[in-house]
Amino acid sequence: MAVRTLTELLEGAFPGDEVSVEDRTGGGDHFQVTVVSPRFDGLSLVEQHRLVYDALAAPLADGTIHELRISTKGTP
């Protein structure tokens, strides 16, 4: 269920971009998220990850996400 919530939040923040969320342990609190978006073009990795954190601010703050791995890519 959390995977769907996270996916929806990311799709809302990155409309039309490639978004995937994987539950790494099956426990519903360790996630790998991958976002490919032209919004990352020209941004540093810190700036790219900040955009993902912004999108997931709520589940990060309320403890839904215990561990988060992020992979971001701009468009080629």
Partner 1 sequence: MRDEIKDVIETSEVALFMKGTPQFVMCGNSQRALEALRRAGAPVTAVDILPDPRIRQELSAISGWPTIPQVFVRGELIGGADIVEELERSGELERTLREKLGDDLSGEERIVPVV
Q: Pick from 22, 28, 67, 75: which binds partner 1 (CB under 8 A)?
A: 67
Side by side, the strands of the sheet bearing 30-36 are 18-23, 30-36, 67-73
Contacts of 67 (CB under 8 A, 6+ apart): 24, 29, 30, 31
Q: Between residues 16 and 72, which has the closer beta carbon with respect to partner 1?
A: 72
What sign has the CA pseudo-torsion 23, 25, 67, 75? negative
Give the count of residues interacting with partner 1 (CB under 8 A).
13
Site for partner 1 in 5-64 (CB under 8 A): 45-46, 49-50, 53, 57, 60-61
Residues that bind partner 1 (CB under 8 A): 45-46, 49-50, 53, 57, 60-61, 67-71
